[in-house]
Chain A
Amino acid sequence: MQIDTAQLTALAIEIAKILAAAVCILVFILLVVLYVVLKLRWVIARIQSRLGPNRTGPWGVLQTVADAIKLFQKEDIIPRGADRWLFTIAPAIVFIPAYVVYVVIPFGKGLTVRPLDVGVVYVTAISSISIIGIITAGWASNNKWSLLGAFRAASQLIAFEVPVILAMCIPVLLSGSLNLDVIVQKQAGSIRDWNLFNAFPMCQIACLMLLIAGLAEANTTPFDLMEAESELVAGFNTEYSGMKFALFFLAEFAEAFTLSALLVTLFLGGYNPPVHFLGGGLTGYWFSLVSLVWFLVKCWLVVVLILWIRSTFPRVRIDQLMNLSWKGLVPVGLANLLVTGAYVGLWVAR
């Protein structure tokens, strides 16, 4: 039994890199979720003429940290009659896809963990796994509210996955690549090169579609039918508490951030600065840093938009939701795809 040291070292370095990236992403997700939840509470409070959390730490910034610590201390309850195994792994099935999606998101120039060639398909494929987790959670809880929530989750998520894919096809067609990094690089330059301000009106329609369908996929308020607390107690996570509930919670807000990152990447120029002199001329590590900052700023704006929508609109009814997808977004998306395909094939390609 002989062991090639050089090979082993290379392997160890590779594994260490992967682990470091995984930990970085996990920490990033935790920080983002802590911030987004806090921001959500501030935004909703201000819209309702309140102040929101302002006691824990300076300006209340430690409020969500305190909530998280409280959540981790809670008793972990598995209801009698529940399917113990499925009940336990369901939060993981929901959280892991929401986590693994971050592998392809271009946070900045050269700051993608793995710039996969099939990035866009990868994102939709991986996030479609979480449906199974939600259904499993609803079924394993042995509770009718959970099961109804799971039913709704299945129909809603499948219905809105189609418009999401159709909307994401538009920038893919325009830039001719499924790689998110390449899509971002095609939008380099100034704000006029961003997809949102090109190819009128296909890109604008696609952007709006991705926003609407993405909100439904991420289960945020106008479309949070699967946990509609006024009808279903808490939907699929009724029976969950403690750490397992925290995982669902984390996944939900991580998905909301993924949505904003996708919107930024596909339509808002990704990590490119909006005007050239604000960092466009830099190179090397400096540009990586500046592009990371621009990416986060843009994501912050989209997140605030999502929170604004979330705290404004009331929840839709389940039949309205289904009609919106199958009778509204899907036909519009198909027509949009056809027009964009013709545009790219006949106009851009020439």
Chain B
Amino acid sequence: MAILGFEITGYQIAFVVLAGITLGSAALVVLMPNIMRAALFLGLTLLGVAGLYVLMNAAFLAAVQVMIYVGAVTTMIILAIFLSHRLMQVGFAQAIHNPVFAFAAAGVMFIFLFITVANSLWVRDICAPGPANTDVGVHAVANALLQPYVFPFELASVVLLVALVGAVVIAKEDRPGEP
């Protein structure tokens, strides 16, 4: 289909819609004064990212993204909001106290990520026009995780384990008579 002289495929329309949802709700996460709504928009942002994964034929990654980030992480963030405010106080408000510093930090982060992404190997494959033809199946992901990338993979799991142990230590109540 051609609109206004531009050749537009369904893939591009879907990409624009999903990217719009992702970026729009990401902006709302920052701008929403009500922190609960901000957390819900974070969930929408993560869903949008999952949609982008689907567009890239990485269905497994998308499903895992939804399961872990939307299902678990957003829930945890909401629980943290519940636990760190007085229960029935509706006016959860978030404020940006130091916009200059916040922008600087976000900008540095963006530049860092952009350089990493632009220099990585897979960008060249993905940047080929149209959707990638090879379906990144579960087997490919499994092989990648357990052969070339086994060290970072295990390192990540060790980091998570340390976080878990740390959480248990912090949450453990102090009993008298124990060191």
Whether chain A touches chain B in the assembled complex (some CB pair under 8 Å) = yes
A residues lining the B interface (CB < 8 Å): 1-4, 7-8, 11, 81, 83, 85-86, 116-118, 121-122, 124-126, 128-129, 131-132, 135-136, 139, 142, 144, 147, 150-151, 154-155, 157-158, 161, 178
Instruction: State in angstroms the CA–CA spacing of A157 and B43 once bound together.
Output: 17
What are the 9 closest A-B residue pairs judged by CB atoms, nearest first? A128-B71, A125-B67, A125-B66, A121-B63, A125-B63, A118-B60, A118-B63, A118-B59, A122-B63
Number of interface residues of B (CB under 8 A): 33
A316 to B25, CA, bound (A): 39
> Is B30 at the interface (CB under 8 A from chain A)?
no
Report which B residues bind A (CB closer than 8 A): 1-4, 10, 34, 36-37, 40, 43, 47, 59-60, 63-67, 70-72, 74-76, 78-79, 82, 87-88, 90, 135, 137-138
| Chain A contacts for B60, CB-based, 8 A | 117-118, 121, 178
Measured between C-beta atoms, what is the minimum distance from A148 to chain B in Å?
9
Q: A1-B4, A3-B1, A116-B59 are in contact. Are A129 and B36 (CB under 8 A)?
A: no
For B138, list chain A residues within 8 Å (CB). Answer: 117-118, 178
Question: With A144-B88, A158-B72 given, can you name 15 additional A-B contacts, CB distance below 8 Å?
Answer: A1-B4, A81-B90, A83-B36, A122-B59, A122-B63, A125-B63, A125-B67, A126-B66, A132-B74, A132-B75, A135-B78, A135-B79, A139-B78, A157-B75, A161-B71
Choose among A2, A86, A117 the residue that contacts B37 (Cβ–Cβ < 8 A): A86
Q: List 7 A-B contacts (CB under 8 A).
A: A1-B3, A3-B1, A8-B1, A118-B60, A131-B75, A132-B78, A142-B88
Q: Which chain B residue shows the least CB distance to A7?
A: B1
Establish whether residues B82 and A121, one from each chain, have CB atoms under 8 Å apart when the complex forms: no
A83 to B65, CA, bound (A): 28
Shortest Cβ distance from residue A130 to the other chain B in the assembled complex, whole angstroms: 9
Contact call B137/A131, Cβ cutoff below 8 A: no
**Distance of A154 Cα from B2 Cα, bound (Å):** 47
**A contact residues around B1 at 8 Å (CB):** 3-4, 7-8
Residues of A within 8 Å of B34, CB to CB, are 83
Q: Which residues of B contact A131 (CB under 8 A)?
A: 71, 75
